[in-house]
Chains A and B, each alone.
Chain A
Amino acid sequence: MFSTQTFFDSFGPLFWAARYTLLVSGLGIALGLVIGALVCAAALSRVRALRRFAALWVSFLRGVPLLVQLLLMYYLLPVIGINVPAIAAAVITVGICASAYISEIWRGAIGALPPGQSEAAAAIGMAPRDIWTRIVLPQAVVMSLPALVNELILLVKASSLVSVVGILEVTRASQAQAATTFRPLEVYLAAACIYLLINLCLAGLGRYLEHRMAV
């Protein structure tokens, strides 16, 4: 029988664990934005080696499952002499993985800008750097916001995988909860509700941004 009691009781500890889910996905996207911008710049640069590197970066990180990347990072860091807590390894991996997708989002956004914009800026004598910081980037960032929210939703879901390296986020907490209550169905459904709640909020944010940008 479905025990509504257990179902509602699990929300307390799972909500508490949700801060790690939010932390990993939030810091992950922040790191992803920074590295993604660098990779995007490399992909668009005039230097061939940089373009090659960016292509390799994107293809590797998009071609390898995140779970494999997580375990690889988890075992690789101590070997090369870096001892960081598991949470840091998780955030770094999620951020690096996200950077590949984000750099492609930005590349797409920059490519979608009408070339007339930067041509006009060049025609009135703006320096190349000013064209980038004042014309291209502001518009590209605004244009890519809905796609970035989408990426954040994907990251919230992907953060369930960091439970494997022992971080007590929603999924890990629900595993523990399921083991103590012997009611996995109720507990995991509660976990699903929490993820759904977070993602519906984010999806609403995405729709709002899209709506505002459509003006």
Chain B
Amino acid sequence: MELSVFQDYGPMLLRGFGVTIFCWLAGTVLGMLLGLLVALAQRYGPRPLRWLLQVYIEVIRGTPFLVQLFVLYYGGPLIGLRLDALPAGLLGLTVYGSPYFAEIFRSGFNAVPIGQIEAARAIGMAEPSIVRRILLPLGLVSALPALVNFSIILTKETVILSIITVPELMYQVQRMSTETFRYLEANLVLALFFWGLVETISRAGRRLETRITRHLIERV
């Protein structure tokens, strides 16, 4: 074991870590927004749009993320979509996550008791404000555990961006190990690092869940 290489490559690895976190946060937020739009369009949109979105969901969920990235990054320029690695990676992560988020939102919306929505209609609330005041707040709370869970899964998907040369942590570690020939140590430390990261995030996620769903717990 030779761990001193990590010192020499410290700044580079730190930069990579920053890019990883950035990709994860931006990809999760954008993917959630796109997923929310898809879920709402599937609920309220016209029938052809709903079919189209269903196909979109099936195609994205049925193909590997890596292949999607290849289509986008290497295939994109052929139809005039010329992106750098980082924007391509972010777009890929957003598109990849959106159908999963859409399905999570859909089941969250379905969990809203129909009586709540009927009651809102009965007192004459307009459909947009029903969405904003009834469907979204209630649906989001019941979708929260699944949202947290999928966001954690996305943390791990960011390493795949290294294959299309997004300079995130995995990419920097690969570069370091080809320059120092320390493949095993580098990957071992990377594994431990991700383990810690994912554990930390899931712990934080659980705390967030208990905080937000506090009002649902019955007082004994």
Contacts and interface: CB of A to CB of B under 8 A. Distances in A.
Interface stretch (B7-15, B45-53, B187-195, B204-212): B187-195
B188 to A, nearest CB: 6
Interface residues of B, number: 36
Given A60-B195, A68-B191, A75-B187, A200 B64 contact: no
A15 B197 CA distance: 38
Interface string B44-69: 00000000000000110111111110
Contacts, number: 119
A184 B75 contact: yes
A76 to B, nearest CB: 6
Contact of B187 (A68, A160, A203): A68
Interface stretch (A83-91, A114-122, A139-147, A187-195): A187-195
Given A66-B156, A192-B68, A200 B62 contact: yes
A174 B71 CA distance: 11
B118 interface: no
A11 to B, nearest CB: 14
Interface string A167-208: 000110011001000011110110110011001100100000
Given A157-B65, A184-B70, A164 B191 contact: no
Nearest to A183: B78
A158 interface: yes
B119 interface: no
Nearest to B74: A184
Interface string B160-177: 101100000010000000
B79 A63 contact: no
Contact of B78 (A65, A156, A184): A184
Give the size category of A's interface with B.
35 or more
Contact of A195 (B67, B79, B188, B196): B67
Given A64-B191, A72-B191, A188 B184 contact: no
Given A59-B199, A160-B64, A174-B70, A75 B184 contact: yes
B66 A161 contact: yes
A2 B78 CA distance: 8
B157 interface: yes
Interface of B: 58-59, 61-68, 70-71, 74-76, 78-79, 156-157, 159-160, 162-163, 170, 183-184, 187-188, 190-191, 194-199
Given A68-B170, A171-B66, A178-B70, 9 more contacts: A62-B198, A63-B156, A76-B187, A161-B160, A170-B67, A184-B74, A192-B67, A195-B64, A196-B63
